[in-house]
Structure 1
Amino acid sequence: MPQTFARPTFLLATAAAALLVGSAHATPLATLPAVFPQPVSMALTGPVLDLGREATLVDAGADAATVALVRDALAAAGVETIRTARSLPGKPRGTVVVLGTADAGSVRAAVTQLGGTLPDQREGYALLSGTRGNAPLVVLAGHDGDGLYYAAHTLRQLTARGTMPSVRIADAPSMAIRGTIEGFYGAPWSMQDRAAHLDFLGSVKANTYIYSPKDDPFARDKWREAYPQATLDALKQLVDQARRHHVRFTYAISPGPSICYSDPADVQALQRKFDAFRAMGVRSFYIAFDDIEYKKWNCDADRAALGEPGERAAGLAQAQLSNSIYHWLKGKDGADAELMIVPTEYYNTTESPYKAALRQVDPAVYVQWTGTDVVPPAISIGDAKAATKAFGRKTLLWDNYPVNDYGESSGRLLMAPYAKRQAGLSDELSGILANPMNQEAPSRVAVFGSAAFAWNDRGYDADRAWKAAARMLASDDAATTAALMTFFDVEHLAPTFGSQPWQPAAPRLKATLDGVAEALANGTAEEREQALARLKTTADDLATAPDTIRAGVADAGFVAQSKPWLDALQLWGRSLQATANGLSAAERGNSRARGFFAQAQALAAQAEAIQTIPNTTRPQGSIKIADGVLDRFVREAPSLIYVPTAAAGGD
């Protein structure tokens, strides 16, 4: 006879809800999608739109990269045929998508029809979707070309699941400058890394990349010399790619170790170097005065022109040079000219003769500041206000996270969330540029957060952005995302130049291991059993995460650059699996526990022997995985419970 089953209450409720919208197979209920960076204003205005298989694209002057993004987004939502038009069609066949800047008539008309407002802020955009008659209408309106490009990236996220919600988004950045400075010591990124990074920056609405690798000899030791033509050709390709992704390529030079400030020939050498990049279309330049001795001159002419060396004299010399170069750039490029500097005193706000002299730099020149220290544990509004006073303008934050080129970061990937930067900093900063790691692709975890914070600091949620970075790398695959979050946790520690990190080691893993130790010390038999089961699950997660990441992360750069850390994590996971087996055996009075613990120690030793990839990281060192947490637990586990000898028996 037929079997019958009781239907759970939640299924009955789901079915009833489906009936309310028509049927169980009706258009899904609209939910507010996750968009990163978090838009300033985003609201649902109606049901999910069925974009169908046909669409008309009304292109009111978008660039090729923006149009390509929109076409890809429509394809992701199931649109198969896309026609183009110059104006709104009277009787559309399928969905109509309008994209252009706010001065285009078709854009203004479409925004009005959907009850929206046009963007009025630089790089801002409006994105609206709804219906016009019986057909879906989507409009992307940029205040300028940059804003329109960002609107297309938002559309890409809205359609990622194959549907399109009815939304009204009004969005614009909180900070004018958002991006990264390739400013670390050690092996510079490859051109391939840089190209991938520019693509990534555009996708997170960052607008600035500063080329400033410390180990590029033609930007520092040989700064007066011209680049080889092959290098210039490769850099020209990067400049062009940056432009396509709406990222400003900024060329930085570090003349401080050898410059003679009062020698016209050295000023002309700087101009020649910048002119080579101006010929490529670069309009943003940078002079680095960091990490130099500023209490001595490099030439006798400076002593004659500027007096005895010292803090004030160095500040005056740097201010005069910066002003000279900025006014020369203005004469060449007008309003497009941009100059940034990083001063020699870049990491505090203490008043000094140097800072007083440096305040003579033209107010239009951006001055960078790293916070209250070289690697600050936090940055507050009060800190930024003090910097504004010290440098005579809103500073541009050089954030030394997630850079890993200093001793305390040896053997680490820094993959904790971008955190402890106070909401409201946009009122006191002109922007944020993160200094990434030697490893470009793993750097994106933190840079994803710094870009989101710089876009909308008051709407920023560090934890949500951290998880969104994992989903980005995982292409939204749930298992790969979970494995990445496991990886991020064991690489969570963020050091400073001091003894105490500003973000702790492996907080999620530590909570689990602390809970196991607590249960073994004070728990009931049932609580001990449950804790050991959690430990086994956690160990399995650690051991299997690397293979899941290798298989599920499409970015080959991430997998290759993370290789020794993934290898070490796998060994540590197996070590914890053996530890869990040892504790479970000891709990049962089984003498085999000793063998499991010995196996755990051997696997831990193998993991600790793995080194960073040669010639890629400064400093080199042994790979660290949840150090101080995982290694300590594996080492101390045999002492948490009585381990019987073979003579004592036990199965």
Structure 2
Amino acid sequence: MTFGCRGILEAFYGRPWSWEERHTMLDFMHEEGLGAYLYAPKNDPIHRNRWQEPYTDEEWMQFQRLNGHARDLGIELIFGLSALAFRYTEKAHLGVLQGKIRAARQRGLRSFALLLDDLPDRFEHGDDRQRFPDLAHAQAWLVNELFQEVAPDGQFYFCPTEYHGPGTSDYLRTLGARLPARAQVFWTGSQICSPRLTEEELRRVSDVLQRPVVVWDNFPVNDLDMQYDLHVAPLRHRAPGLARAAAGYFAAAGPRVSTSQLALRTTAAYLRNPHGYQPEPEFMKAVRRATSSESEAAAVAFLADLARRHPLTDRNEVLHHALWPDIDAFWAARGGSGKRAGPELPGRPVPTPVTPDEAPLRSAVQEMERHAFTLAHLHDPALRRDLAPWTAKLAGWARVMKYALGALDHPHDARTREYVLEELALVRENFHWVAGDTFDHFARRCLRAAGETEELA
């Protein structure tokens, strides 16, 4: 069994995609068999913060063009509505949302979504508290009013204010009892960015809502606090039987289109064949399709391994990249990292037996430099641009490692050790996450070991 509705969400915080990027995403979706696209970027002010203002004629023309492109590809374009500080007792507020639906329908759009996520979970206006027993009753009333503008030929989606968690609250039960039967409800899972999704938890909340939920999967989105994390990785930990409990599945893309697509290709592979999906092979297929040579593919995969912090990675495994055996073999070849080395880096994998040898790490440092150069000159300009902050961080760590090895090889050259500390400060100005403190920790161990060697001389 596969998902009936499979789509992409443009619903992140930060710079919305350009219209060109949206058309590019539609072509990508058609290629990957994804049939629905929700327009709801949080930082489009007319969508959310200043929702009472109308779109300009030029913007409506762009929506019409986007919808035409989507229809040509067999993709459903869903027009998102949101409303900060909405007054349920203010007729004019309801009229604004109804007017936007009518204006969008005049441009050919037929499907809509009301998004009340990330809003206060209580009434903001006294009149609303007097009219409705609670927020769920008010929101259900609003959905019913807006649904009348969409029926009978359109789809309507709703993201409630409570969109993650156990899924058993009275709020959700009230919605389930009072929402229109055809209104579909988004759900992100146990968390906003859920590390895992199981059939059991989706069935539980679907029973409460009296309809199968539509999964809103917040991967690979990397906005807000996640903006420094690359999120170029395969989809993981989604049970193969989710389609039996969900009406659809939408993946939340991030602000960077090309890096999002690397992960989204794996999501599309999962959605096509949940029971046969294999994360790593599908990820490497995605990387090869996005790059123009084996050296480019190897460079992207190398960076992805080091920049592995994202919601689907266990927090205890974010530092478990492939270079640790080389680092351990290096220090083993030198009889240890020195008396003043300090503790092991917190979060690193448990050391395993290695053959003492300095050569693999020295080779790996050269490889880091080559990969950073390759990434800075990728054939695809969009992918090159989107990876640039992490590429710069990788290049910086490569310099740190080269200088640190130089300081260890020339322990009597104090200036060489100073270079390491100066470069460390510069690299750490870039907050984009690549291997955490792995290379900072290694470099400082090199300096301490060099200092001990100089003292013994």
Normalising by structure 1, we get a TM-score of 0.63
Match of 1:220 in 2: 48
Match of 2:267 in 1: 450
Contact 2:168 2:205 in 1 (8 A): no
1:267 CA drift (Å): 3.0
1:223 CA drift (Å): 1.9
Match of 1:485 in 2: 301
Cα 1:534/1:347, change in 2 over 3 Å: same
Match of 1:362 in 2: 180
Q: Secondary structure at the match of 1:382?
A: helix
Deviations 1:547-603 (A, max 9, x none): 21233332x2221222222122112112223334455x3xxxx53686655444333
Task: Name which of 195, 202, 207 aligns with 2:35.
Answer: 207
Deviations 1:215-265 (A, max 9, x none): 11111132232201111222222222223333221110112x232334444
**In structure 2, distance between residues paired with 1:211 and 1:219:** 9
- Which amino acid counterpart does residue 623 of structure 1 have in structure 2? H
Deviations 1:133-160 (A, max 9, x none): xxxxxxxxxxxxxxxxxxxxxxxxxxxx
Deviations 1:612-639 (A, max 9, x none): xxxxxxxxxx222211323322232344
Cα 1:265/1:483, change in 2 over 3 Å: same
Match of 1:325 in 2: 146
Q: Secondary structure at the match of 2:453?
A: coil
Superposition pairs of residues 378-397 of structure 1, within 5 angstroms: 378-397=196-215
- Which amino acid counterpart does residue 318 of structure 2 have in structure 1? P
Match of 1:235 in 2: 63
Superposition pairs of residues 351-500 of structure 1, within 5 angstroms: 351-359=168-176, 360-407=178-225, 409-475=226-292, 477-495=293-311
- Which amino acid counterpart does residue 424 of structure 1 have in structure 2? G
- Which amino acid counterpart does residue 242 of structure 1 have in structure 2? A
Which structure: larger Rg? 1
**In structure 1, distance between residues paired with 2:336 and 2:75:** 57
**In structure 2, distance between residues paired with 1:436 and 1:280:** 25
Contact 2:329 2:356 in 1 (8 A): no
Cα 1:604/1:352, change in 2 over 3 Å: same
**In structure 2, distance between residues paired with 1:438 and 1:221:** 19
Contact 1:416 1:446 in 2 (8 A): yes
**In structure 1, distance between residues paired with 2:111 and 2:335:** 61
**In structure 1, distance between residues paired with 2:309 and 2:369:** 20
- Which amino acid counterpart does residue 302 of structure 2 have in structure 1? T
Match of 1:197 in 2: 25
**In structure 2, distance between residues paired with 1:379 and 1:468:** 24
**In structure 1, distance between residues paired with 2:360 and 2:229:** 27
Match of 1:104 in 2: none
Cα 1:486/1:362, change in 2 over 3 Å: same
Structure 2: runs of 5+ lacking an equivalent: 338-353
**In structure 1, distance between residues paired with 2:450 and 2:240:** 47
Superposition pairs of residues 11-26 of structure 1, within 5 angstroms: none
1:546 CA drift (Å): 2.6
Q: Percent identity?
A: 25
Cα 1:564/1:245, change in 2 over 3 Å: same
Cα 1:241/1:517, change in 2 over 3 Å: farther
Task: Name which of 603, 611, 626 aligns with 2:423.
Answer: 603
Contact 1:404 1:412 in 2 (8 A): yes
Superposition pairs of residues 595-634 of structure 1, within 5 angstroms: 597-610=417-430, 622-634=431-443
Q: Secondary structure at the match of 2:402?
A: helix
- Which amino acid counterpart does residue 198 of structure 1 have in structure 2? L
- Which amino acid counterpart does residue 245 of structure 2 have in structure 1? E
Q: Secondary structure at the match of 1:418?
A: coil
Q: Which has the higher contact order (CA 8 A, sep 6+)?
A: 2
Cα 1:228/1:459, change in 2 over 3 Å: same
Cα 1:639/1:346, change in 2 over 3 Å: same
Match of 2:340 in 1: none
Structure 1: runs of 5+ lacking an equivalent: 1-172, 308-312, 611-621
Contact 1:574 1:603 in 2 (8 A): yes
**In structure 2, distance between residues paired with 1:270 and 1:218:** 11
Cα 1:299/1:602, change in 2 over 3 Å: same
Name the count of aligned residue pairs. Answer: 440
Match of 1:16 in 2: none
Match of 1:565 in 2: 390
Match of 1:579 in 2: 404
Match of 1:513 in 2: 327
1:437 CA drift (Å): 2.0
1:480 CA drift (Å): 0.7
User: What value does the CA root-mean-square deviation take over the aligned residues?
Assistant: 2.7
1:442 CA drift (Å): 1.3
Contact 2:194 2:311 in 1 (8 A): no
**In structure 1, distance between residues paired with 2:117 and 2:438:** 36
**In structure 1, distance between residues paired with 2:389 and 2:234:** 21
